[in-house]
Amino acid sequence: MRSDLIFGALAHVRNRYELCQLAAKATRKLHKPTTRLQDTANDVLVRFHENNPMNAASTNASLELQEAPLQQRRAA
């Protein structure tokens, strides 16, 4: 059942709102037109149960911050 998948995924995510946001983004990226959307959402929740989605998100965010060049303001 999907409720079991949700409770399993909550082990790695702080709250339900954050889980919903992450699952929606992942479902949009992983969905293939030939499959049912419900199956894709269930696959995403299974992946979240097996792995920590927050670890990958925080790693990607920190890499983006490190790669972005620092801009300096000049007086006009």
Cα separation, 11 vs 18, in Å, equals 12
Q: What is the pTM (predicted TM-score) of this model?
A: 0.65
pLDDT digits (tens, 9 = 90+) for 17-68: 998 998 999 999 989 989 999 999 999 999 888 887 777 655 454 444 444 4
Q: 3-state secondary structure string, 58-73?
A: HHHHHHHHHHCCCCCC
Q: Are 34 and 73 in contact (CB under 8 A)?
A: no
The pLDDT value given to residue 39: 93
Q: Give the chain's mean pLDDT.
A: 77
The pLDDT value given to residue 68: 45
Q: Is 27 exposed, middle or buried (0-12, 13-18, 19+ CB in 10 A)?
A: middle
The pLDDT value given to residue 36: 94
Q: Residue 4 carries which side chain, given as an amino acid letter?
A: D
Domains of the chain by residue range: 2-67
The pLDDT value given to residue 37: 93
